Amino acid sequence: MKYDVVIIGAGPAGYVAGIRAGQVGLKTVIIEKTNVGGMCMNWGCIPSKALLESAKIFDKIKRSAEFGIDGIDIQKLSFNWEKVKSRSGNITKRLTDGVSYLLKKNGVELITGTARLVSENTVIVNDKKIEAVNIIIATGSKPIAMDKSIANAPVVDMEKLFSLEVIPDNIVVTGNHVPAVEMAQFFKLIGKTTSIVTNSNRFMMGFDDHLISYVLEKLQSEKINIFLNAFAEKYENGVLTIGGKEIKCDLLVNCNSRKATIPESEIPFVLTDREFVSTSDDFETNIRGVYAIGDVSGKSFFAHVASAQGIHVINAIKGIKADFNTRSYPINIYTVPEIAQIGMTEKQLKEKGIDFRISEFPLSANGKAMIEGNTEGFIRMLSDKKFGQVLGVQIVASNATDMIAEAGALMETDGTVYDIAKTIHAHPTVSEIFMEAGFDAVDKAVFK
């Protein structure tokens, strides 16, 4: 069979590329070996955030007396793991069913199986030859396996977390980026003794140093044990040895750095030094007409970026040429409070020799934040001193992951601190902190 586009992998990169391809009239087939939605929908982005939301509500109920709510016996509160998993599963099913519907609606064929590239325009799946003008690799990534020295430890990947019947009391999370921080706080919020082992000196790489310091202080204030640039060395009798220190460990959750899941190919891919598929700025691999998007290319590990890459490649195939902006995308952490960042960091601005100013405003002075009882947090806006162009924004707030979109829209249009200062924000809203940060840069914040 012949197609315009063959896509290998049905995660956020693959299914968005597929839907877009169908919309613009390209005959398209997606090959997926397991579940539509990929890691993100089935055990990553969506399910993990559903777990976190349940944990956040569980934790906030403990503060109900502050809001004038009586009659809740805190001692009788319990976190029902089975119901939490069921709710998460229902959300996942609704979303994956929706994706399947959209693929069908747009004429995209879906084949279940494992694909193998045999040439620049031919794929074999289930002993069937499929030919296409363009092939898109969207096979994602997976966490690096634990060291063999602790092979006897009770290790669980996120993919298998939802199969646990109970969550034990002593949890150790390994990893150095967003998923590890989120899961460490999740376990702590539901009352577990929690530790995080970063197993690298690149903790929260890509975030501004100010936010990294905030995250570390936050974890420490919540009495989450932190082992920076350390490695689990030995596991014996329920005890994990880390850097010579012994801690109780009933469950070791693998949120390690990720490695590319590369499909079998008779034409070898050129790989990066980290063994991801190397691509051009337009995501074309060394094989002509074969593209790699999402985690497998190692350029980003965020679903929203993977989806944007998918749209970019399909547009390019249709002759719509554009530059892909690799810096103007948000990085989110769904913790309590949430954390979000977009654009350049202080360090990057200094390295480029840009003369910039930092304007800040705390949530403690925001009326809506006080009403909601969520006054922990701030906004930091980095702007060019000469023209006032906004170059980076960092937010810590209960809904920072939604608020960061305003910063994205501002930066997409080369907006300035003057633009944000004169934009009228509804009152009372948490988003008023944008206006205050703008005023802080222009002259003085009104309520600071």
Length of the chain: 448
Among residues 304, 312, 425, 427, the one annotated as catalytic is: 427
Tokens linked to 278: 């190397």
Does residue 177 carry a catalytic annotation?
A: no
Neighbours of 65 (CB within 10 A): 11
Which H or E run contains 86? helix 81-105
CA count, 13 A, side-chain hemisphere, 136: 39
Sorted by sequence, the CB contacts under 8 Å of residue 301 that are 6+ apart come out as 141, 177, 258, 295
Angle at which helix 432-442 crosses helix 400-412, to 10 degrees, equals 50
Nearest to 97 by CA among 15, 28, 26, 160: 15
* DSSP character at residue 66: G
Buried/exposed code over 164-187 (b: 16+ C-beta within 10 A; e: otherwise): eeebeebbbbbbbbbbbbbbbbbb
Tokens linked to 10: 């049905």
Sorted by sequence, the CB contacts under 8 Å of residue 143 that are 6+ apart come out as 157, 158, 175, 254, 255, 256, 257, 258, 259
3-state helix, strand, coil in the chain (%, to 5): 35, 25, 40
* Strand 378-384 versus strand 356-362 pairing type: antiparallel
Sorted by sequence, the CB contacts under 8 Å of residue 426 that are 6+ apart come out as 432
Task: Decide: 406 and 426 in contact? Cβ < 8 Å.
Answer: no
Phi, psi of 152 (to 5 degrees): -85, 0
Tokens linked to 255: 């949120």
Where does 344-400 show beta strands of DSSP type E? Answer: 356-362, 378-384, 390-397
Catalytic residues: 427
